[in-house]
Amino acid sequence: MVRATSRSDLHHRQIYITVRATSRSDLHHGQSYITVRATSRSELHHRQIYITVRATSRSDLHHGQIYITVRATSRSDLHHGQIYITVRATSRSDLHHGQIYITVRATSRSDLHHGQIYITVRATSRSDLHHGQIYITVRATSRSDLHHGQIYITVRATSRSDLHHGQIYITVRATSRSDLHHGQIYITVRATSRSDLHHGQIYITVRATSWSDLHHGQIYIMVRSTSESDLHHGQIYITVRATSWSDLHHGQIYIMVRSTSESDLHHGQIYITVRSTSESDLHHGQIYITVRATSWSDLHHGQIYIMVRST
C-alpha cells in the first residue's frame, strides 16, 4: 500500500515506488517490493513482486506491474517471476502494460490491452507455477479486446507438467485468432486463422509436438535445407548446415551459416523451413522445433510465423 510515488525513475515498463516500510535487501533488477500486511520475502527474487495487500490505488499504474488487492494466496511456489494470486473482485479499468496472474470470479475485459493474460477461470492448479507465468485452464472468456499481449486462449484441458521458465505452452481445442497480434506464442491448436497474425512471435498450428524442452521463449533452430522460393517481406530466409547456440540469448536468432543467398536478405528476420533439427542444446528459454512443411504467405512484420503439420 503506497501513499505517494515518484515517477522520475519510471522507464522501460517498470514501476519503482515509494513505500512506508519495506525491506530493500532483495530489491534488484527494477521491480518494487511494497508494504504489505503479511507476506513472506524468503522467496522474493528475480525482479518480481510476491505480495498480499489489503488495498491500493491503481490510478498511476502504467507500463509496469500490477499490485492488487487480494484476499488470500499461497506463495509456496512463487519464484523467478510474477504474482500468482487469487482475488475475489477487482477493477481492470487502468490495467495496461503490466502483468496479472489471477484466479477471479468475475472481471471486466473492456480495457485490457498491452499486457499479459486477463482471464476468468473456475479452478486452476498452481503446483507447477514457476518462473513467472500462469498456466491455467479456463472455461470461457471474451477475447474481443485482447491485443498487444501474451496468450489469450480458451482451453478445455491441458497438461502443465512441462510448464516452466515463463511461457505458456498449451493445447487448445478451438480458438479465434482474429485479434491475435503483437504477442507471444499461440500454439498447439486444431484450427486457427492466421489472417491477422502480425507483429509478434510464433503463431503455429501443430498436430503433435513435445514440449519437454520448451522454456524461456524464442526459437533457435538448426536447419539442414530450406527453400527460398517464397522469400518476401524483407526478411532473411537462409539455409544452414551447422550452427553454434552458445551465444543464443535475448530472444533473437543468431546463427552461423555455411551457404546462403544474400540477394533478398534485408530487414533482419529469418523465415525458414526445416526438415530436422537437434534439441540437444535447448536452453535459456527458447523454443527449438522441427517442422516438415510451412507456408510463408502470411509472414510479415515480426518473428517466425509458421504452420506445422507434424513435429
Calculate mean pLDDT across residues 79-87. 30
Predicted local confidence at residue 310, as pLDDT: 25
pLDDT of 56 reads 32
* pLDDT at position 43: 29
Q: Give 298's pLDDT tier (boundaries 50, 70, 90).
A: very low
Residue 72, classed as helix, strand or coil, is: strand
List CB contacts of 121: < 8 A, sequence separation 6 or more.
103, 104, 136, 137, 138, 139
User: Which residues does 145 contact at the CB level (< 8 Å), separation at least 6?
Assistant: 109, 110, 111, 112, 113, 179
Q: What is the pLDDT of residue 67?
A: 36
- pLDDT tier at 183 (50, 70, 90 boundaries)? very low
- pLDDT, one tens digit per residue, over 249-286 is 222 232 222 223 333 233 223 333 332 233 333 332 22
Percentage above 90 pLDDT, the chain: 0
Counting residues of the chain whose pLDDT is more than 70, the rounded percentage is 0
Query: Dihedral angle at the C-alpha atoms of 97, 145, 143, 75, nearest 10 degrees?
Result: 20
Q: pTM (2 decimals)? A: 0.12
Write down the pLDDT at residue 161.
35
Mean pLDDT estimate for the chain: 30
The per-residue pLDDT for range 28-50, each reduced to its tens digit, is 222 333 333 223 333 233 223 33
Q: Which residue has the higher pLDDT, 184 or 75?
A: 75
What pLDDT score was predicted for residue 94?
28
Q: Tell me: the pLDDT tens digits for 201-255?
A: 222 322 222 333 222 222 333 222 233 333 232 222 332 222 333 322 222 232 2
Q: Which residues of 189-206 are buried (b: 16+ CB within 10 A; e: fewer)?
A: beebebeebbebbbbbbb
Per-residue pLDDT, 207: 24
The confidence score (pLDDT) of residue 264 equals 29
